[in-house]
Every structure is written in structure tokens, then in C-alpha cells.
Amino acid sequence: MRKVIGIGETILDIIFKNEQPTAAKPGGSTFNSMITLGRLGVNTEFISEVGRDRLGKQIKEFLAENNVKADNVYDYDGGKTALSLAFLDENMNADYLFYKNDAAQKLDYVMPKIEENDIIVIGSFFSINDALRENLTYLLDEAKRKKAIIYYDVNFRKNRKSQVRFLMPNILDNFDYATIVKGSDEDFDNIFSENDPDLTYKEHIEFYSKNFIYTQGSDGVTVYGKGFKKHYDAKKIEVVSTVGAGDNFNAGVVYGLLVAGVTFEDLKNGISEDKWDIVVKSAIDFSSLVCTTLDNYAPKDFCEEYSRQNPIPAEEEVKSNDPYIW
């Protein structure tokens, strides 16, 4: 069975509405994606770190309860598990404050077994942090050598905008590693002061990665591939919170890749419109659902029903290259 390996920060999200705390959930950009994928029954592993404290213990237990292998979630002495305060505005978009112990960041892990067509998910500041860079690229080099799919969600927040010129080498390096680059209009405005999807792709992404997913919230999604471009409309929903929306979009992309049987070689050579349709539909389904809740991830019952209706094909079906019908 193909594996999905996520690498990212682990935090406790405390969500505020009208300046009052309304919910507290284990979170982190890649963490949220992994929880949804674990609930979908995907073979999922997570690499991260937490404090050796009560909260860190609860988070590791939460991963295990949701079918996410947590052997490589390192708990360190001398620090506390990070916190994120998410303040929802009148449009239910979140403004974040982070509290973390950067001195503890090491990213200690045992190299997982990576095989061809496994999927590696990276993103956010965790993926461009100099303190973690050497250990992260060690894994990315192995993934690239094994022809795993590397999915990079840029997720570059405006509070890092003043640091962009110092972080740019790591961002471009991640573009080069990535089989698929995904980012939002806000991400690329923060990095390149650019908010046109075509120019973003042609001037900043295409040289490194042919496969690019550009999200624009309620204005939908534009996808670029080898000889391919298509815009997809967003669902019309009543938004409760956007916390976790992008993370669950990523989970939906990954699940769609698995359902459509998309391989590393497929992405290298260019996948069909039908397969992109499967991938983006799945992404929009999960991001839209999470926007209607205060949760960071898709509910278990939804995931169980979704995976029943949209099963991942057996590996021999993927290898046959027969088209998979949604």
C-alpha cells in the first residue's frame, strides 16, 4: 500500500471568535492534513516534535487514535508544546499569533522506508526553517531518489513577509524538490508581491515544477500541468471558520491522487484532465466541509463514507495504467 508521510509543526490551536476562545484543537498545517488522511484509512506517518509535557502526550495519543503513525514525533526535554491563537474576523478568516520554543527545534527522526509513488507532504514555515533544513533535505533527497511524489504547500504567512529575502533560497529549493507546488494568492503576494496566477506560474514556478495548484478562496482554484491549465469554481458555502481549510484541501489533493492512481511518472509526463478533475474535486470537497465547522480536520463519519464511495484502487490497478473512473 502506498504511504503518505507528512513533515511539519505540531501545535495546539486555540480559536477566538469575538475576542473570546471558542475551541481548542491539536493542529499544525501538515498535522491537520494527516489527521484527515488517517481518518480516510490512508497509510499515514507523521514526522514532528512536541514538548515532553501533558499536551505533547495528548497530541501523540490523538495521532494514534486517528490512524496516523507517530513513531517519529519526537518529544524533547526543556521545552513546551507550541500554541497558536487564531482570531477569526467578520469574514471568518483567521489572524494568527504563535507561541513556540524555537531553541528546541531539532527534527530528530529515524528515516522512514520510502518507496516509489509514496507521497511526501511538506509546507509552512517548518519546511523553510534554517534550524531544521539539513534534516528535512536529508529526507527529501531520499524521497527524490526513490521517485516519491513530493507535495509542497507554500503556506507563507504575512508575519514572515519581512524575512522573505532571507528565506527565499529555501523556498526556491522546495520548489525544485516538489513534484507539485500548491499555494494561495495570499502566499504569493507575501513572497513575490504577485497576485496573478498565470504570471506566478510562468515567472516563479514553472522552471522548477510543471505541476502547480493556485487557490483563491471563494474565487476557486487554477491548476497548471504539463500542457494543461484549468480553473475550478469554489463551492458556495456559509463559512464558519477558515482554520484548516488549506490543510484539508491538501488532504483532498493527496486522497484524489491516490484514488485516481496518479504516479510520479504520470506527474512527470503530464496527467489527463479527467484525473485532475478527480484530484481537485476531492480537494474542494474537504476544504469546503472544514470551512463549515470549527474543526481542523474532516469528521470521522464523513471520512468513512467518503472513502467507501471513493475507494483507493489496488496497486496492481494503478500499475496497469487503466483509466480510473470516478
In a domain? residue 145: yes
Give the pLDDT score at 211. Answer: 98
In a domain? residue 37: yes
State what percent of residues in the chain have pLDDT above 70: 95
Helix, strand counts (H, E) of the chain: 11, 13
| Residue in this structure with the C-alpha cell 463559512, named with its chain if needed | 239
> pTM of this prediction?
0.92
Give the pLDDT score at 108. Answer: 87
- pLDDT, the chain, mean: 92
Give the pLDDT score at 98. Answer: 83
Query: Is the pLDDT at 6 greater than 60, yes or no?
Result: yes
In a domain? residue 325: no
Distance, in Å, from the CA atom of 197 to the CA atom of 188, rounded to the nearest integer, reads: 9
- Tell me the pLDDT band of 1, cut-offs 50, 70 and 90: confident
Query: Is the pLDDT at 189 greater than 90, yes or no?
Result: yes
Query: Is the pLDDT at 30 greater than 70, yes or no?
Result: yes
Q: Which amino acid is at 250?
A: N
Kindly state the helix (H) or strand (E) to which residue 213 belongs, with its residue range: strand 211-215
Query: Is the pLDDT at 94 greater than 90, yes or no?
Result: no
| Section 214-235 average pLDDT | 96
| Region of poorest pLDDT, from 46-60, 88-102, 115-129, 148-162 | 88-102
- Tell me the pLDDT band of 104, cut-offs 50, 70 and 90: low
Give the pLDDT score at 105. Answer: 63
Is beta strand 11-17 parallel, antiparallel or unpaired with respect to 3-7? Answer: unpaired
Query: Is residue 182 a contact partner of residue 215, using CB atoms and an 8 Å limit?
Result: yes
| Section 44-63 average pLDDT | 93
Q: What is the pLDDT of residues 253-293, one digit of tens each?
A: 999 999 999 999 999 999 999 999 999 999 999 999 999 99
Cell of 149: 511524489
In a domain? residue 254: yes
Query: Is residue 280 a contact partner of residue 17, using CB atoms and an 8 Å limit?
Result: no
Q: What is the pLDDT of residues 33-44, one digit of tens each?
A: 999 999 999 999
Strands (E) in 100-169, as ranges, are: 119-123, 149-153
Distance, in Å, from the CA atom of 259 to the CA atom of 130, rounded to the nearest integer, reads: 35
Residue 6 backbone phi and psi in degrees, to 5: -105, 145
In a domain? residue 123: yes
Query: Is the pLDDT at 229 greater than 90, yes or no?
Result: yes
Query: Is the pLDDT at 318 greater than 80, yes or no?
Result: no
Q: Phi-psi region for residue 291, left (φ > 0), alpha (ψ -120 to 50) or beta?
A: alpha
In a domain? residue 101: yes
Give the pLDDT score at 159. Answer: 87
Domain that holds residue 58: 3-320
Give the pLDDT score at 324. Answer: 41
Q: What is the pLDDT of residues 153-187, one digit of tens each?
A: 999 988 899 999 999 999 999 999 999 999 999 99
Cα 119 versus chain centre, distance: 11
Cell of 322: 487503466
Q: What is the CATH number of the domain that holds 65?
A: 3.40.1190.20
3-class state of residue 40 by DSSP: coil
In a domain? residue 326: no
Number of domains into which the chain is organized: 1
- Could you tell me the CA-to-CA distances from 177 to 147, 173, 300 in Å, in that order? 11, 6, 32
State what percent of residues in the chain have pLDDT above 90: 76
Give the pLDDT score at 95. Answer: 83
